[in-house]
Amino acid sequence: MKYKVEIDPQAQEDMKEIFLYVAIDDSFDMANKLLDKIEETCYKLEKYPTRGHIPEELRRTGIKRYLEIHYKPYRIIYEIKKEIIYIHSFLDGRRNIQEILSERILR
């Protein structure tokens, strides 16, 4: 079965923030390369959607429908519904993930 990856608006905002941060801190070229690699990582889920694991911060709250994969230091939070993989967040693993996930998912 072939899955389809969809990146939701919140995750698109995350990508814009990552791009701007890297472009300002390093270069546009590095920012473009990074986003290409992150997207490539996401689209690998089309073949292997269950390769992720439940984020520890969510497991502790009993929420088990979200999975995550990594493109260091970024954590990609997603959910599988039928044949669609919804990418919900691209989070910098160096930030307070518990706080961000609480804000976004537990609201």
Q: What pLDDT shows up at residue 82?
A: 92
Select from 57, 54, 74, 56 the least CA-distant residue to 65: 54
- Position 106 pLDDT exceeds 80: no
Point out which residues pair with 76 in neighbouring strands. Answer: 69, 90
Tell whether the model's pLDDT for residue 69 goes beyond 60. Answer: yes
Range of the structural domain that residue 23 is part of: 4-105
Nearest CA to 14 out of 101, 88, 79, 97 is that of 88
CATH of the domain at 49: 3.30.2310.20
Structure confidence at residue 98 (pLDDT): 80
Phi, psi of 79, deg, nearest 5: -140, 140
**Number of domains present in the structure of the chain:** 1
pTM (2 decimals)? 0.90
Look over the chain and give the mean of its residue pLDDT values, rounded to a whole number.
92
**Which position has the token pair 């976004």?**
104
The span from the CA of 102 to the CA of 80, in Å, is 20
